[in-house]
Amino acid sequence: MVFSFLSLIIVNLYLFQIGGSTNIQDFDSLIKNGGKIRIYNYSYAEVLTEDINKLTAEYPNLSFIVGNEPDSYQVLAINYWGKQVNEFVSIQDYALWLDNETSLFEKKIILSPRIPERRQIWLAGGISKNQNDLTNYSLLNLGIGIGEPINISGFKQIKKYDILYLSKKE
């Protein structure tokens, strides 16, 4: 593991000097990708943008579920600034809609005072979907996977680009 980590640092430094890139964007993706590390002779962001442009030329003005990681949609939203996409939807939000849920995370802390009181103090918080979310999830029938096909039951891969995989609801 140490050898792999040191090798990755050395290889990345070399790639950055020559203008290349890898599919490893951070340490988490190093762990998750394991033996599936790819080295490109070009910028990952450039290829990703080119893939998005090809995809949106074929499927303009649509909304896409993006996965397989909860925030994969951010990668596409950061790299695509065109107007051919209605919306990139998080696979996490789509899963919440399927389960008829709105909360991603909730935590309640109940303090126990040293002296028994009549009142109890508690704090609660969490993360949930935006209450003003206007996305019509029932109409979403296209999914984009980054580096692999999207993993949603009922979706089948219909096209592969360099980095992106397009799937359609069956």
Burial class (CB in 10 A: 0-12, 13-18, 19+), 155: buried
Do residues 49 and 104 both lie within one domain? Answer: yes
What the block records as the tokens of 154 is 């009922």
Q: Residues 73, 154: one domain?
A: yes
When divided into structural domains, the chain yields a total of 2
Question: Which range marks the domain in which residue 32 is found?
Answer: 1-42
Tokens of 13: 């430094």
**pLDDT digit string, tens, across residues 117-163:** 777 888 999 999 998 999 999 999 999 999 999 999 999 999 999 99
Are residues 92 and 136 located together in one domain of the fold? yes
CA distance between the termini of the chain: 41
The verdict on pTM exceeding 0.85 is no
How many residues would you count in the chain? 170
Q: What is the pLDDT of residues 29-77, one digit of tens each?
A: 555 555 566 665 678 888 899 999 999 999 999 999 999 999 899 999 9
Peptide bond connecting 68 to the previous residue in cis, omega within 30 degrees of 0: yes
- Torsion of Cα atoms, 155 then 160 then 161 then 164, to 10°: 30
Beta-strand relationship, 142-146 and 164-169: antiparallel
